[in-house]
Amino acid sequence: MLPRRHRGFTLVELLVVIGIIAVLVAILMPALHRARDQAQAINCRSNLRQLTLAVLMYVNENHGYLPGPRAIIDPPGDLNNYVYTGAITQADLRPTSTGSLATLGLLKEPRVWLCASDPRLTLGIQFSYTYNGRLIVQPGHDGEDNPPQLTGPLLRKITTFRDTPRDIIFAEENTSTSRPAPINDAFFIYGDVTDDRHNRSAQVSYLDGHAGQIPANVDLYNDHAYFCQ
């Protein structure tokens, strides 16, 4: 009796298998990207909750005053001298160890300031979130366009805000130089808008301590729907 010969795959069969694998990869890759983006967004909100908890600790230890943008870096801005061919500024490179949350020992892990989806990470930036400029408006002028701002250390009492669950403190500011007003200091103010790095949305945190998500391209300082109250 002759031994049975095992027939191998023909070229056509191999091409069919390769085609099926390619189709499965094409179907699965978008889902995998969405899952990764969702995981990074969740991590970002965790960062923002930790930052806001540190701010609330600062408030408890400093007679009810919010720390202002110096919570992030000190000084919070400068002449915005761009480095690395205009991608970032000197303020972007200033260590968060200079900020009041770090110097007072309220926040010990500097990586909490960084979003894993921030495209500037390889350039050495030190923070991915900025301080809402509406929190340094003088009390009594919250509903105004171009309101007067606090002077000096830019500190305002948290009790002067009546709706803390909707008042944003930290937000992901636009990082793209192809859009207006890319992030250049610790202020989210004037023409600054939210970034789109989390599936065309941005992560933010609120004065009551929770974090959430809002659309990209929101101008927190000039959009009445986002004015602090």
Q: What would the DSSP string read from start to end of 121-186?
A: GGGT---SEEEEGGGGBPTT-TTSSS--B--TT---BGGG-S-TTT-EEEEEB---TTSSS---SS
Which residue is listed with tokens 């960084």? 114
pLDDT above 60 (res 1): no
Kindly state the average pLDDT of the residues 143-163. 93
CA distances from 146 to 169, 186, 189, 222 (A): 19, 19, 11, 8
SS3 at position 112:
helix
DSSP state letter for 91: G
CA distance 184 to 202: 17
pLDDT band for 4, please (50, 70, 90 cuts): low
Q: What global pTM score does this model have?
A: 0.85
Q: CA 198, CA 119: separation in Å to the nearest integer?
A: 11
pLDDT tops 90 at residue 107:
yes
Question: What 3-state DSSP class applies to 88?
Answer: strand
CA 17 to chain centre: 43
Q: pLDDT-based confidence at 194, cuts 50/70/90?
A: very high
Q: Answer for the pair 68, 154: CB distance below 8 angstroms, yes or no.
A: yes
Q: Is the peptide bond before 3 cis (omega within 30 degrees of 0)?
A: no
Q: How far is CA 10 from the centre of its chain?
A: 53
pLDDT of residue 84 exceeding 90, the answer is no
217: left (phi over 0), alpha (psi -120 to 50) or beta: left
Per-residue tokens: 152: 């000096």
Dump pLDDT digits (tens) for 160-182: 999 999 999 999 999 988 887 88
| CA dihedral of residues 142, 146, 150, 151 (deg, nearest 10) | 180
- Residue 87: pLDDT over 80: no
